[in-house]
C-alpha cells in the first residue's frame, strides 16, 4: 500500500458519518383486557421512504423486534383483523413501545318469527345514523350478515360510529323489513370501540301477508330504453323499478320488484301496514343499492301511499318528470386552501326506494351546476369519498319530495385542519398517549397515536375534515377503555368527540386519574 494510503483511508473513515443501527421493538396488547395479541401485523416504514424497512408479526407474547435498521424517523402501522388499525410516529431514540389495539364492536342476536320459530337467511344490517339524525345504508362488509339455520346472526368488526340495526327478508312467501327493536323508536348504537353487544333479537312479523299489484303508467316516450352494453342505438322494452317502504321508517326496504314492459307489477307477500310505493325508471340493471336507472336518458318517478290490510289490486301509479336542482360551491368561512378546484360531491337518497338514486356531481368553485334527473325524495349532499382532502361542510339536505328549489343550493367545503390540545392534571413524570379515531364516514381508518410532550401538549396536523374521537391513556399504565369486561369494553366513557372542518381545533383533556381508567 502507498505510504499515505493508510492515512487517507483513515481520514476517509473519519470523514464518513457512521450510520447508527436502530432497533425497533415493542409489544401489542388488546386494549380492554391487556392480553398479548399474537400475529398482529406490524409495518415499519422510514419516513419519506416507500418501501417498508420491516414487515413483522407479533409472537405469542405480542412482541415484535426489528434490528439493524438505518437511523431515522419511523412510522409504525399495526393491525389485526377485528381490531382498529393504529398508526404512530416513533420518536427518535424510542425505547420499547407498547401499543394497545381497540377491538371493533360486534352485535349479535337471533331472528325469530312470532311463533318462536327461528328464521334463516334474513339479512341483518347496520345503518349509519348521521349527526343530523338521518339514517343511511353503509357500504361496508361488516355492516351486514345473514341469519343462519339456527336464526343467529352476528355483525363483526363494526368501527366506532352511531348505528341503527335493521332486518329484511324478501321472497315469494313473505317480504318484511324492521328496525331493532321497532320502527318507531329504533335503538341507536353509539359504538366507541370494542363493544360486544348480544341478544339483539328480532321478532319478525309473520302474520298474514297480502298481494299488492298494479300498473305503472310508463310514459310513451320512455317505453323504449337503451340496451346496456349493447351496440349503439339498440333499444329494449323499458321496465320500471317499484319499491315499498314503511311510512314510519322510509329507509327500510320491505319489497321491490320490476314491472313488465306494460308497467304491471306484483308483490306476492306483503305484511299488513302503511307503506309508500315508489316507482322509478326506466331501469337498465341493478346494483346492491337497488335497480340502476338509465342515467344518461330521461327518467320518470312515481309515488303513492299504500295501505295494506288485504290484497291490494289495480294500483294505478302515475309518474312525474324528474326534479332539477342547481348546486353551487361557494367559499365559506373555512379554509379551502387544500381543496382542488373542483369539489366532488355525492347526493345520497335518504329514503329506500328500490332504486340506486345516488348521484355524483363535480362542482367547480363558484360555478352553478345543474343536476337533472333527480328523484322526488330527500338527498344528503356529502363528500364523494371518505379519502377526499376537501369535505362538504355541515349536513346539507335537499328535500325534493314536494318540489324543487328555484334558487341555486349553495355548498360550503373545508380543507385539512388540525387538532391541538393540552393535557391537564398530569401525574409527575407520567407519559401520556393520545389516540385519535376517525368516526363517521371515515370510520375504520387507522387510529393515530401521539405521545404528549413535556409541556402536556399534543397536536395532530393535516386532518381530513370529519368527526374524530379523542382518547387518552397513561403509557405503560393501562388501556383507553375502562376494562370492566367483555360486554362493555371499549371507549364508551372515555372518548371525546370533536369535529375538524378546516382550521385548527383546540381542546383540553384531563389526564386519567388512575391507571387503567380514563377520565370522564
Partner 1 sequence: MSGSCRMFLHLHAIPRWLTWLRRPALEQLQTASLGMAAVPGMAAALCLLLVGQAIAQPSPAAGLAAQPGVIEGRVMDADTGEPIAEATVWVDTAKVGFFGGKFGVTPGQPSDGFAESGEDGAFTLRGVPPGKRSITAMAPKGIFNEARLSRQVGPGQTLGDCVVRMRNPASVRGRVVDEKGEPLAGVQIHLVVEEYHAGKVRQYLRPGGMSDENGEYQIESAVAGRAVRLMAERVARGAEASADSNAPIDPKLRRPAFSRVFYPDAPDLQGATVLKFRSGEERGGVDFVMRREPSRCIAGKLLAPTEVKGIRVMLQHAEPAYGSTRRGGSFGMTWSASLDGRREFRICQLAAGRYRLRAHDTAEGRNAAISAYAAEWITITDRDLSDLEIPMVAPWKLSTELEWAAAAPEAPPTQPTMVALEPLDRAFFMGEQRNARIEAIPGRGEMGAVLVDEYSVSVRLPRSGPSAPGSGAPTSPAPGLYVKEIRYGDAAVLAQAMRVGMQPADTALKVRLGHDAGTVTVRVTDQKRNPVSDAQVFLLPSDAADEGALAETLLRGQTDQYGSVTWQREVAPGSYRAVAILTNFDYSPEAVRILWQARDRAPEVRVAPNGNAEVGVQVVQQ
Instruction: Enter the DSSP assignment of 151.
Output: S
Cα–Cα distance, 84 to 102 (Å, whole number): 6
Exactly one of 190, 266, 276, 453 binds partner 1 (CB under 8 A); that residue is: 266
Cell numbers linked to 4:
499515505
Q: Does 218 bind partner 1 (CB under 8 A)?
A: no
Residue 39 found at the interface with partner 1 (CB under 8 A): yes
Binding flag, residue 82, partner 1 (CB under 8 A): yes
242 to 261: interface string for partner 1, x by CB under 8 A: -------------xxxxxx-
Dihedral, CA of residue 177, residue 169, residue 385 and residue 382, to nearest 10: -20
Return the closest-CA partner of residue 113 out of 230, 180, 41, 203: 203
55 binds partner 1 (CB under 8 A): yes
Report the distance separating Cα 491 and Cα 479, nearest Å.
Answer: 9
Q: Measure the CA angle with vertex 356, ends 355 and 357; round to 5°.
A: 100
Give the span between the Cα atoms of 329 and 341, in whole angstroms. 10
Minimum distance from CB of 363 to partner 1 (Å)? 22
For partner 1, which residue of 51, 92, 93, 314 counts as binding (CB under 8 A)? Answer: 51
Other Cβ atoms within 10 Å of 375 Cβ, number: 24
Residue (78 or 470) nearer to partner 1, CB: 78
Question: Exposed, middle or buried, 413 (CB in 10 Å: 0-12/13-18/19+)?
Answer: buried
**Residue of 16, 185, 229, 402 that binds partner 1 (CB under 8 A):** 229
Under rule CB under 8 A, residue 311 binds partner 1 = no
The residues that bridge with 158 in the sheet, in sequence order, are 105
User: Which of the ranges 108-116, 277-285, 297-305, 451-459 carries the binding residues for partner 1, by CB under 8 A?
Assistant: 277-285
Nearer to partner 1, 278 or 458 (CB): 278
From CA 218, how far away is CA 346, in angstroms rounded? 28
Q: Kindly tell me which of 53 and 280 has the beta carbon lying closer to partner 1.
A: 53
Phi, psi of 442 (to 5 degrees): -90, 5
Residue that has been written with the C-alpha cell 385539512 in this structure: 416
| Contact call for residue 171 and partner 1 (CB under 8 A) | yes
Per rule CB under 8 A, count of chain residues that contact partner 1: 55
Return d(Cα 9, Cα 318) in angstroms, integer: 92
- Is 89 a binding residue for partner 1 by CB under 8 A? The answer is no
Task: List the interface residues with partner 1, window 325-344 (CB under 8 A).
Answer: none
Contact between 40 and partner 1 by CB under 8 A: the answer reads no
Residue 459 binding partner 1, by CB under 8 A: no
The one among 92, 115, 185, 288 contacting partner 1 by CB under 8 A: 288
Residues that bind partner 1 (CB under 8 A): 38-39, 41, 43, 45, 50-57, 60, 66, 79, 81-82, 121, 123, 141, 146, 148, 156, 170-173, 175, 213, 228-229, 231, 236-237, 239, 255-260, 264-268, 283-288, 291-292
Amino acid at each position: 500500500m502507498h505510504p499515505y494510503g493508510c492515512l487517507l483511508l483513515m481520514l476517509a473513515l473519519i470523514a464518513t458519518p457512521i450510520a447508527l443501527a436502530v432497533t425497533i421493538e415493542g409489544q401489542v396488547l388488546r386494549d380492554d383486557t391487556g392480553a398479548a395479541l399474537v400475529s398482529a401485523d406490524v409495518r415499519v416504514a422510514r419516513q419519506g421512504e416507500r418501501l417498508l424497512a420491516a414487515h413483522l408479526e407479533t409472537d405469542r407474547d405480542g412482541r415484535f423486534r426489528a434490528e439493524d435498521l438505518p437511523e431515522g424517523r419511523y412510522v409504525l402501522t399495526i393491525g389485526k383483523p377485528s381490531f382498529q388499525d393504529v398508526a404512530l410516529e416513533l420518536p427518535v431514540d424510542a425505547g420499547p413501545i407498547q401499543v394497545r389495539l381497540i377491538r371493533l364492536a360486534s352485535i349479535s342476536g337471533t331472528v325469530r318469527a312470532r311463533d318462536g320459530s327461528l328464521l334463516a337467511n334474513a339479512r341483518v344490517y347496520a345503518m349509519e345514523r348521521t349527526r343530523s339524525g338521518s339514517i343511511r345504508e353503509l357500504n361496508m362488509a361488516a355492516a351486514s350478515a345473514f341469519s343462519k339455520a339456527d336464526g343467529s346472526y352476528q355483525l363483526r368488526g363494526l368501527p366506532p360510529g352511531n348505528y341503527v340495526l335493521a332486518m329484511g327478508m324478501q321472497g315469494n312467501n313473505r317480504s318484511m323489513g324492521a328496525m331493532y327493536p321497532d320502527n318507531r323508536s329504533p335503538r341507536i348504537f353509539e359504538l366507541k370501540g370494542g363493544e360486544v353487544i348480544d341478544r339483539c333479537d328480532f321478532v319478525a312479523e309473520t302474520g298474514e301477508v297480502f298481494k299488492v299489484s298494479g300498473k305503472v303508467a310508463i310514459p310513451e316516450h320512455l317505453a323504449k330504453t337503451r340496451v346496456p352494453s349493447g351496440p349503439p342505438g339498440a333499444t329494449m322494452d323499458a321496465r320500471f323499478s317499484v319499491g315499498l317502504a314503511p311510512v314510519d321508517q322510509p329507509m327500510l326496504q320491505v319489497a321491490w320488484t320490476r314491472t313488465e314492459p306494460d308497467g304491471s307489477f306484483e308483490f306476492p307477500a306483503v305484511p299488513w301496514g302503511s307503506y309508500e310505493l315508489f316507482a322509478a325508471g326506466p331501469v337498465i340493471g341493478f346494483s346492491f343499492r337497488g335497480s340502476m336507472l338509465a342515467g344518461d336518458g330521461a327518467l320518470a318517478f312515481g309515488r303513492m301511499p299504500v295501505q295494506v290490510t288485504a290484497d291490494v289490486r289495480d294500483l294505478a301509479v302515475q309518474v312525474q318528470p324528474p326534479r332539477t336542482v342547481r348546486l353551487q360551491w361557494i367559499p365559506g368561512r373555512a379554509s379551502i386552501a387544500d381543496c382542488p378546484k373542483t369539489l366532488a360531491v355525492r347526493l345520497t337518497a335518504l329514503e329506500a326506494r328500490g332504486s340506486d338514486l345516488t348521484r355524483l356531481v363535480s362542482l367547480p368553485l363558484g360555478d352553478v351546476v345543474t343536476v337533472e334527473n333527480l328523484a322526488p325524495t330527500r338527498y344528503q349532499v356529502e363528500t364523494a369519498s371518505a379519502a377526499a382532502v376537501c369535505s362538504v361542510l355541515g349536513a346539507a339536505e335537499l328535500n325534493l319530495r314536494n318540489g324543487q328549489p328555484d334558487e341555486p343550493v349553495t355548498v360550503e367545503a373545508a380543507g385539512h385542519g388540525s387538532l391541538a390540545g393540552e393535557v391537564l392534571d398530569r401525574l409527575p413524570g407520567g407519559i401520556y398517549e393520545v389516540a385519535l379515531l376517525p368516526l363517521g364516514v371515515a370510520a375504520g381508518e387507522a387510529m393515530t397515536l401521539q405521545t404528549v410532550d413535556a409541556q402536556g401538549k399534543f397536536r395532530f396536523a393535516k386532518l381530513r375534515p370529519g368527526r374524530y374521537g379523542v382518547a387518552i391513556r397513561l403509557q405503560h399504565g393501562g388501556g383507553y377503555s375502562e376494562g370492566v369486561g367483555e360486554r362493555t369494553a371499549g371507549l364508551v366513557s372515555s372518548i371525546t368527540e370533536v369535529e375538524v372542518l378546516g382550521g385548527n381545533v383546540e381542546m383540553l383533556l384531563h389526564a386519567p386519574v388512575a391507571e387503567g381508567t380514563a377520565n370522564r
